[in-house]
Structure 1
Amino acid sequence: MNPQSASPLLRLSQATLARVRDGVAVPAYDRDATRIGIVHFGPGAFHRAHQAAYIDDLLGTDPAWAISAVSLHSAGVRDALRPQDGLYTLALPGDARADASASDGAPRLRVIGSIRELLCARDEAAAVLARLADRDVRLVTLTITEKGYCLSADGVDLQHPDIVHDLAAPEAPASAPLSAPLSTIGWLVAGLRLRRARGFEPYTVLSCDNLADNGGRLRRAVLQFARELERDRADQGLADWIESEVAFPRSMVDSITPATDDALRAQVASRLGVEDAWPIQREPYAQWVVEDDFRNGRPPLERAGVVLSNEIAGYDRAKLRLLNAPHSTLAYLGSLMRIETVADAMREPALAGFVERLMREDIVPTLQLPRGFDPDAYIDAILARFRNPAIRHLLAQIAWDGSQKIPVRLLGTIADALAAGRPLERLCLPVAGWLRFVRRQAREGVAIVDPLADTLARIGAATTGEASHDVDAFLTLDSVFGALAGDARFVDALARAHARLGDATPAAVARALAD
């Protein structure tokens, strides 16, 4: 047959689901029998790869928890998936060396059916508010990134333009909607306000973004917004009602979700036999830990492998220090060695061995771990994830925003080690690696992706390579180093680590790692 005469593939949808080829998992439940019980703000790749997949596992036994996916401003996800009835493909690339089910290196494919509705708040405000006020909706979840919350240090940022707009909405009766909010906080409060006026129970609000104390911070922001909103309005008591009736459980999520590209779209289409406008991919590993603090019912999350725990802070800290800190270590020391990806970095014996020793010997002793948490098994799983060549995780991307990441990923551990009188040598080497990385980028004229980019470029360009001089220059960054800059033990250890890196060539870094 002439290839040019071949018919184009049909689009993935409920009507074409039966055409999906063997070997691809499809929803094993009647989607028409499900009801929307969750509204999710921010249906980007991570949500669709993570929470939506967990919920998909539950709908066969509890059909009350299908998802209405709401984008605040961009219609891209809605326009791609609405013609597909919310269906999309999740690809799970495995490591062919360890996954017999993917011996040819091809990812396992699964069609996810848990998203039953897609809305864009920008031009479908009435539908979004109606869904939030729907009595069947008992849970609102969010993956909107930290900046999407419009937070201040202690609550909501009252100067943020979207918050200013939402608080200036014209006065309306409590039973009527305000003008369409721009912020997620505004939407949450608008929905709760309408439910209270109608005598409905509130929904639980669950943040699934990687923010420390995410539920607590969101609760404080919502309460502050509600108190500002109710001034001089007819619905006094809204904030008190939210404070007493609405739950904001904390959570922790983890899984690497690389971006979708045309190669993935083509690969998925060839395997599916139908076209998917927006498939996504995710590493096989996924973790979701949720504080068991819900009102008005909750999905049976534990059936899908979600850990329900009241020790979220311990899980958060373990992830931050045992996953994120090693990631940054690989990013800065690996970049100095001219390595491109995490998997490539883990093929360098000196670097891989250093990271493992750092985790087991220097980081674990600083942690207060949740009950039943096995640090050795957790480290083993992280190292296996790092080594997976099917996940192309760029060190250059992990290296972004070092001034924000270094304090929470490494300096907190260093402060705890100082308090306990523990050695600092290994812990300071990745911090010194960041200093040398900034210096190299500045001197080579490469843009530094960081909120402090201009300051870092200026410091990096003025460094000499001499340890004491360069360390002193960086320690002027009070927002990064804080009180540690005045601790002679830390300053000396950082200077020694800086000196160990020598001229920071790949060979010099390899020698430093082996010392």
Structure 2
Amino acid sequence: MSAATCRTLPDTLARFTYARPDAALSNFGIVHFGIGAFHRAHQAWYTDQAMSAAAAQGQDAQGAPGGMDSWAILGVSMRSPDVALQLNPQDGLFTVTECCGTRSTTRLVGSVRHVAIAPREPEAVIAALAAPTCRLATFTVTEKGYCREPDGGLDVELADKGSFYPLLAAAFERRRKAGLEGITLLSCDNLPHNGRQLARLIGEYLARRAPELAAWFEARCRCPSSMVDRIVPAPTEADRAAVRTRLGLEDAAAVVTEPFSQWVIEDDFAQDRPRWEVAGAQFVRDVTPYETAKLRMLNGAHSALAYLGLDRGHTFVHQAIGDPALRPLVATLMRDEAASTITAAPEQDLPAYAGSLLERFDNEALNHRLRQIAMDGSQKIPQRWLETLAIRQARGLPGTALWAALAAWLRHVRGDHGPVDDPFATELAAAWNQAGRFGIVDSLFGEGGILGGIWTPDEVARAYINARL
């Protein structure tokens, strides 16, 4: 796959229709941190369709006359060179295949023009962020990429070691000196109020490392919250082989996903933006009801399926949700325990949402690995489970399904399923060694624990969980 060879692709293949500029640092409208499979199947996919729709009307992607892409994406890999090695030889081109059952459709996406590897070429990233053409920086760095302390504050020393914060600070300084406008920083990660959290964390970093930029950032930049939803498993060799058969070309960066996609964005931007709404994005005043439903229902159920499913020997989500012992438990978690804590927007139907999630989890074509979801649990379960439990406990309500999921997570971080992939793996192992079976709940969730301060287990919850360890 490349700009030259894509001309040989089947005429029936859906593809972008806009002109692509050279991959020069002055041509990027968006710098994206964390260019994994999810970004390619979601934000890059939305941007590609926005640019194609504009080009069809003889406009650029924000509606001005002209057909040239002004929102080309520079992807930034924060650590691994793998995606750069996949995409750069392909001129940034890749395909997105949507699968459901035996049906599938594929689209050629052209919105990404280049991938920079931040540890090797920080100057390229800073220069792209500081260029007049850049109006957006977007993020899918996962929860741990924000370098938060257990209490939610910024770990500044960790942030200095290969995160996006120093790169942003250097770019802000150049923009300020050049008299340029600020940019919009759009988090697409599964954090509650992710825009506010991002703004606060950047503010903390600047206060410690570049206090002269703090006022400029606050006055000139915007950090809208957003909710993203699309199930995107890590692509496998079998996925790539199927795409190769379909295209007649090798696509090393191919992604496979479900037909469903949702993006809800707070309408608060420093400058202009792509017309993502042509691909279905929603712009709202308040993202909170959507992000809360997604975090507590979809993400909460996914994490429960991961740990409970691994316990029962399953590999994929569709296997776990098909387990007659797990399906009703997950349905209870979503419909009864999580939904009861959410103040829905007028257009939200939470029971219908739960039903649609069960159908999406059933999709056998995706092969979404439970181990992929189980990673970094200490960074995920506070917003996926513990906030729900705290609300229910304050109302005098039990959380039986969530307690069962917590017990499964505790078994997982004990090492029951092999090596633990978590930024606090060492601390979790030490807690297990010191506290043991009947002390681990209080050790982790009590005062001073790694996950303390959100939910404190009462006697009934503690006894339920301990009985399952």
Say whether 1:38 aligns with 2:30: yes
Q: Secondary structure at the match of 1:116?
A: strand
C-alpha separation between the residues in 2 aligned to 1:473 and 1:70? 39
Match of 1:196 among 164, 176, 189: 176
C-alpha separation between the residues in 2 aligned to 1:122 and 1:38? 19
Contact 1:404 1:480 in 2 (8 A): no
Say whether 1:475 aligns with 2:442: yes
Say whether 1:158 aligns with 2:156: yes
Give the fraction of aligned pairs with identical amino acids, expressed as a percent.
Answer: 40
1:41-120 → structure 2 map (5 Å cutoff): 41-60=33-52, 61=54, 62=61, 63-96=69-102, 102=103, 107-120=104-117
Aligned to 2:128: 131
- The alignment covers a number of residue pairs equal to 445
38-47 vs 378-387, which deviates more?
A: 38-47
C-alpha separation between the residues in 2 aligned to 1:146 and 1:245? 25
1:65-464 → structure 2 map (5 Å cutoff): 65-96=71-102, 102=103, 107-152=104-149, 153=151, 156-160=154-158, 162=160, 182-230=162-210, 236=212, 238-435=213-410, 441-442=415-416, 446-450=418-422, 451=424, 452-455=427-430, 457-458=432-433, 463=437
C-alpha separation between the residues in 2 aligned to 1:402 and 1:223? 26
The alpha-carbon distance between structure 1 residues 418 and 28, as it changes in their structure 2 partners (threshold 3 A), is same
C-alpha separation between the residues in 2 aligned to 1:423 and 1:155? 30
The alpha-carbon distance between structure 1 residues 311 and 476, as it changes in their structure 2 partners (threshold 3 A), is same
C-alpha separation between the residues in 2 aligned to 1:361 and 1:283? 26
TM superposition shift of 1:32: 4.7
The alpha-carbon distance between structure 1 residues 71 and 33, as it changes in their structure 2 partners (threshold 3 A), is closer
Which amino acid letter does the alignment assign opposite residue 443 of structure 2? Answer: T
Contact 1:341 1:392 in 2 (8 A): yes
The alpha-carbon distance between structure 1 residues 387 and 18, as it changes in their structure 2 partners (threshold 3 A), is same
The alpha-carbon distance between structure 1 residues 66 and 430, as it changes in their structure 2 partners (threshold 3 A), is same
TM superposition shift of 1:79: 3.4
- TM-score (structure 1 length as normaliser): 0.77
TM superposition shift of 1:147: 3.4
Contact 2:122 2:167 in 1 (8 A): no
Report the aligned-residue RMSD. 3.0
Contact 1:406 1:480 in 2 (8 A): no
Which amino acid letter does the alignment assign opposite residue 49 of structure 2? Answer: D
TM superposition shift of 1:336: 3.4
Which amino acid letter does the alignment assign opposite residue 460 of structure 2? Answer: D
The alpha-carbon distance between structure 1 residues 142 and 485, as it changes in their structure 2 partners (threshold 3 A), is closer
Match of 1:20 among 5, 9, 21: 9
- TM-score (structure 2 length as normaliser): 0.84
The alpha-carbon distance between structure 1 residues 197 and 473, as it changes in their structure 2 partners (threshold 3 A), is closer
Aligned to 2:58: none
Contact 1:438 1:456 in 2 (8 A): no
Give the greater-gyration-radius structure (CA): 1
C-alpha separation between the residues in 2 aligned to 1:28 and 1:267? 25
Runs (5+) with no aligned partner, structure 2: 55-60, 62-68
C-alpha separation between the residues in 2 aligned to 1:269 and 1:91? 12
C-alpha separation between the residues in 1 aligned to 2:120 and 2:402? 50
Which amino acid letter does the alignment assign opposite residue 162 of structure 1? Answer: D
Match of 2:463 among 467, 480, 495: 495
Contact 1:431 1:494 in 2 (8 A): no
